[in-house]
Amino acid sequence: MNRSERHLGLVTETIEAVNSTLDLDELFELIAAKVAKALEADACFVYLYDEMADELVLKASVGSRVDELTRVPKLRPGEGITGAAAATRAPIMIPRAAHLDPRFKHFPNLHEEQYQSILAVPILAKERLEGALNVRTVAPRGYDDGEIDLLMAIAGQVAQAIENAKLYDHAQRRVAELEALARISEAVSESLYLEESLEAIVKTTMSAVAATGAAVVLEDGRTAWPEGRPGTHMERLPLRWKGRHLGELVCERDTAFTDEERTLLTSIAHHAAVALVHGRAVLRGVLAQEIHHRVKNNLQTVASMLRLQARSTDVDPRRALEDSVNRILAIAAVHEVLTERREDDVELGELIERLRRMIVQGLGAGKRVEASLEPVSLAGGRATALALVFSELLQNALEHGGGDVVIELTGGDGGAVLAISDNGPGVGTAKPGTGLSIVQALVRDELKGTLTLGGEGGLRAEVAFPL
């Protein structure tokens, strides 16, 4: 086959290769092999331009392999003979002793000193640098204008392939970005729980930009759903809603973020702000519903106790009113603890101590009241019942017992025991009344426990109930 036929075959095969794959590594290997064969060169090197790093990175070579376990050769435009061709946007041909040229750059792992000649051309797409390639021969050799034009034409085809691959990669990234935003929108709109929405946002963020770590930092400094590990590069995107700063989306990885990735992270941050506003609105609605439910139940409890007292034939109106006030204050104490702790469970030791101080202040003149309280938690609804039970029993001990009163709260094995003891006349003189009826009903129906009255040298009222 003569030279013209080889050159025509190279152009045809290059066009076929360009149209056959969007994988640049595969394409560069094909081009390097075909160019070296058609131009009867001993080696061919193909470089891709990394615009962010401003470097030409070796992507394929024929005739000279890069040593294993060494760094990939890289050139800056203007550095080395091939870099000079890239910087000047023009071919450079040196027929002999190319390694003695002052522009030559030595790479120990390429062994280019064996080559005498070089023909280097830039890979250009409408004057925009996309890479560079060169052919080398061991023996001295010059290249005529036809061969230089041929290599420039091949470089033009490679540039088009790089453009196509970039467009495809950009389209794939846009699809991935839209899918990520769709997943976040779905999580925000479907989940009733803020924590679930934030978890989905953080995990999707890491996947979308290949981050090593991400988190949502709220305006009060709390970090929600931290995932992964820190990286050397960080982006902090503000979460804003109608001019209000809600926090930040923090994303980290070991490589720098591109402008496109920052744009995507900005969109994700907007979704995160929506999730916070939406989740908090839902939470406020749930809390309001729960509060209304508890208030309704507590008012019904007060109403039931008032009816019970109203049915009694032996009632002192003033005393009945005072008892009702104390019961309402006991319920208020439960709500106060719930509000301060911002949790669904009540710490019974804290609740009982508050009630003890309140009741002793009103009824405990001249009494000595001691308390031994272990840490025990109980759900808010049942804590209301226990507060009423404790108030009734402590009032009874202060009014009818002796001068010493001991309060004990212990927990263990899935249950708890509340005991109030006094050194008064004891159970034999205890007169069943409305208060005791209320206590028995609350222990049985609300606490699912048992009430025991006994003791020696006084009265001990003991309430055992499951937690």
Is 50 found in the same domain as 28? Answer: yes
CATH number of the domain residue 156 falls in: 3.30.450.40
Q: Is residue 291 part of a domain?
A: no
Angle at 37 between CA 68 and CA 21, to 5 degrees: 70
- How far lies 111's CA from each of 63, 267, 466, in Å? 11, 49, 81
- Residue 245: per-residue pLDDT: 84
Residue 179 amino acid letter: E
Is 202 found in the same domain as 61? Answer: no
Calpha distance 166→372 (Å, rounded)? 74
Is 189 found in the same domain as 128? Answer: no
Number of domains in the chain: 3
Contact in structure between 31 and 60 (CB atoms under 8 Å)? yes
CATH number of the domain residue 334 falls in: 3.30.565.10
- Residue 336: per-residue pLDDT: 60
- Residue 119: per-residue pLDDT: 93
Residue 322: domain span: 312-466
- Residue 88: per-residue pLDDT: 93
Q: How would you classify the pairing of strands 43-50 and 244-253?
A: unpaired
Q: How would you classify the pairing of strands 368-373 and 404-412?
A: parallel
Segment (H or E) for 377: strand 377-379
Calpha distance 173→264 (Å, rounded)? 10
Contacts of 217 by beta carbon, 8 Å cutoff, 6+ apart: 223, 224, 247, 248, 249, 250
Is 45 found in the same domain as 97? Answer: yes
- Residue 289: per-residue pLDDT: 54
Is 165 found in the same domain as 184? Answer: no
Is 372 found in the same domain as 255? Answer: no
Look up residue 99 and give its DSSP letter: G
Q: Is residue 302 part of a domain?
A: no
Q: Is residue 262 part of a domain?
A: yes
Q: For 116-137, b where at least 16 C-beta lie within 10 A, e where not — what string? A: bbbbbbbbbbeeebbbbbbbbb
- Residue 288: per-residue pLDDT: 47
Q: Is residue 107 part of a domain?
A: yes
- Residue 69: per-residue pLDDT: 43
Q: Can you give 167-208 as a three-state secondary structure string?
A: HHHHHHHHHHHHHHHHHHHHHHHHCCCHHHHHHHHHHHHHHH
Q: Is residue 56 part of a domain?
A: yes
Contact in structure between 152 and 176 (CB atoms under 8 Å)? no
Is 22 found in the same domain as 156? Answer: yes
Q: Residue-wise pLDDT tens for the chain (467 aa)?
A: 566 666 666 667 666 666 666 677 787 888 888 788 878 889 889 999 988 889 999 988 888 766 554 578 889 999 999 999 999 999 999 999 988 999 998 887 777 778 899 999 999 988 889 999 999 999 999 988 888 888 888 888 888 888 887 777 766 666 666 666 666 666 555 554 667 777 777 887 888 788 888 888 877 777 766 778 888 899 898 888 777 888 888 899 998 888 888 888 888 888 777 777 766 665 555 444 544 455 555 565 666 656 655 666 565 666 656 666 666 666 666 556 555 554 567 788 888 888 888 777 766 567 788 888 888 888 766 887 788 788 878 878 877 777 888 899 998 888 889 998 888 777 654 455 666 777 888 888 888 899 988 877 788 889 999 88
Residue count of the chain: 467
Is 254 found in the same domain as 206? Answer: yes
Q: What would you measure as the largest C-alpha separation in the chain, in angstroms?
A: 127
Q: How many CB atoms lie within 10 A of CB 390?
A: 25
- Residue 87: per-residue pLDDT: 93
Q: Is residue 273 part of a domain?
A: yes
